[in-house]
């Protein structure tokens, strides 16, 4: 597994890390096995978050089995003021049962007002600097989906890493990531497979590795098989072939811009609609030519998207500003046409 220095942190991280969102979907034993397989494959960086339900807890169990010393641990919290961030740090340490966390990130800073709160006298940055001085966190980072906000954030020298979406279909962070690298920051690619929407994971990871913009990619993985497959990308430094670039270009054209990354930030829906899965099942029909399977999965949904009351809370939460209400309406029509 190839390794790179994460900016000026001194951490030599594997170019492929473990994204901790999908671990929520497995049981504790499977989570431990995933982390053990990461160790076997040379993956030494794990990223999670306070908001990922049992992810921190399961990762803590995995660290005990695989050895804490074998991993750099990153977590994050949507805590923007001093008091809430201080509490989040304490909760992360307790939940994972560790003495320190290598990288603690302010998570999903999406507005300039949130950033101002983070940087204010009683903001989250104060709590992070305090924790760093105490040795309970080693480094400070920031994550987000809004380029303009993070452009402003990286001018603050306290942030040592930046985490931003980057993959073949989401190149909007090119200028941001380039600027961050020039400032000596480590760059972390969230959504490196476009939230699972990209059909060629290995090619997406290879594209990112060849971009010269990213230190480490953190694809979410919920099986040991995925760990083994994704780790292969971190062992291959070959440039993309013309054939591979052609495949990527066709996939980018197919996905367009208004596709669901399945990040889950739109949830919970007040009516109980499982928004990401609605779009996943529709894709079986319109993208993968599997209408019977898509309809089967759709029919199993407890709440259908036609129960949407158009409150648009989901749209206000979506970091990609997707027209979710209209997309749900489209999905309803897709499945009606199959009747």
Q: What is the 3-state secondary structure (H, E, C) of 230-284?
A: HHHHCCCCCCCCHHHHHHHHHHHHHHCCCCCCCCCCCCCCCCCCCHHHHHHHHHH
Q: Is residue 79 part of a domain?
A: yes
SS3 158: coil
Give the pLDDT band (50/70/90) at residue 21. Answer: confident
pLDDT in tens, 120-175: 999 999 999 999 999 999 999 999 988 889 999 998 779 999 999 999 988 889 99
Question: Do both 209 and 155 map to the same domain?
Answer: yes
C-alpha dihedral sign at 319, 56, 72, 152: positive
Task: Look at residue 262 in the predicted model and tell me its pLDDT.
Answer: 76
Domain span at 303: 275-336
Q: Is residue 261 part of a domain?
A: no
Question: Do both 237 and 323 map to the same domain?
Answer: no
Question: Do both 285 and 221 map to the same domain?
Answer: no
Question: Do both 108 and 219 map to the same domain?
Answer: yes
Question: Do both 317 and 225 map to the same domain?
Answer: no
Where among 248, 263, 297 does a domain terminate? 248
Q: Phi then psi for 123, rounded to 5 degrees?
A: -95, 180
Question: Do both 239 and 124 map to the same domain?
Answer: yes
Question: Do both 40 and 132 map to the same domain?
Answer: yes
SS3 57: helix
User: How many separate domains does the chain show?
Assistant: 2
Q: Is the pLDDT of residue 195 over 80?
A: no
Q: Is residue 270 part of a domain?
A: no
Measured CA to CA in angstroms, residue 303 lies from 8, 275, 283, 306 at distances of 48, 10, 18, 8
Q: Phi then psi for 31, rounded to 5 degrees?
A: -60, -45
Question: Do both 158 and 30 map to the same domain?
Answer: yes
Q: Is residue 263 part of a domain?
A: no
**Does residue 230 or residue 264 have the better pLDDT?**
230
Asked if 153 contacts 109 with a C-beta cutoff of 8 angstroms, the reply is: yes
Q: How far apart are CA 244 and CA 84, in angstroms?
A: 46
Question: Do both 33 and 87 map to the same domain?
Answer: yes
Q: Is residue 107 part of a domain?
A: yes
**C-alpha of 214 from chain center:** 14
pLDDT in tens, 200-228: 999 999 999 999 999 999 999 999 999 99
Q: How far apart are CA 92 and CA 240, in angstroms?
A: 39
Q: Is residue 218 part of a domain?
A: yes
Question: Do both 148 and 187 map to the same domain?
Answer: yes
What are the residues whose beta carbons fall under 8 Å from the beta carbon of 24, sequence distance 6 or more? Answer: 52, 53, 54, 55
Q: What residues pair up with 188 in beta bridges, in sequence order?
A: 163, 216
């Amino acid at each position: 597994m190839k390794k790179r220095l994460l900016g000026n942190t001194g951490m030599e991280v594997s170019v492929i890390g473990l994204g901790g969102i999908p671990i929520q979907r497995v049981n504790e034993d499977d989570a431990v096995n995933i982390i053990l397989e990461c160790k076997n494959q040379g993956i030494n960086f794990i990223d999670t978050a306070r908001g990922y339900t049992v992810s921190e807890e399961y990762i803590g169990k995995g660290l005990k089995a695989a050895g804490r010393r074998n991993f750099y641990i990153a977590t994050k919290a949507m805590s923007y003021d001093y008091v809430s961030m201080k509490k989040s740090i304490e909760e992360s340490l307790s939940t994972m049962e560790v003495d320190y966390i290598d990288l603690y990130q302010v998570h999903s800073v999406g507005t300039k007002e949130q950033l101002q709160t983070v940087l204010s006298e009683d903001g989250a940055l104060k709590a992070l600097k305090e924790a760093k001085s105490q040795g309970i966190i080693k480094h400070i980072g920031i994550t987000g989906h809004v380029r303009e906000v993070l452009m402003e954030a990286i001018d603050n020298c306290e942030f040592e890493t930046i985490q931003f979406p980057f993959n073949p279909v989401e190149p909007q962070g090119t200028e941001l990531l380039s600027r961050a690298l020039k400032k000596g920051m480590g760059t972390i690619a969230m959504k490196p497979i476009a939230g699972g929407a990209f059909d060629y994971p290995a090619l997406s990871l290879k594209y990112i590795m060849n971009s010269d913009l990213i230190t480490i990619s953190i694809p979410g993985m919920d099986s040991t098989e995925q760990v083994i497959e994704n780790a292969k990308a971190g062992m291959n430094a070959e440039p993309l072939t013309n054939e591979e670039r052609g495949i990527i270009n066709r996939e980018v054209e197919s996905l367009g811009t208004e596709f669901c990354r399945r990040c889950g930030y739109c949830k919970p829906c007040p009516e109980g609609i499982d928004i990401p899965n609605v779009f996943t099942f529709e894709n079986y029909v319109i993208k993968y030519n599997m209408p019977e399977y898509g309809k089967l999965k759709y029919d199993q949904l407890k709440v259908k998207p036609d129960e949407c009351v158009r409150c648009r809370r989901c749209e206000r939460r979506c970091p990609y500003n997707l027209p979710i209400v209209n997309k749900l309406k489209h999905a309803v029509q897709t499945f009606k046409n199959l009747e």
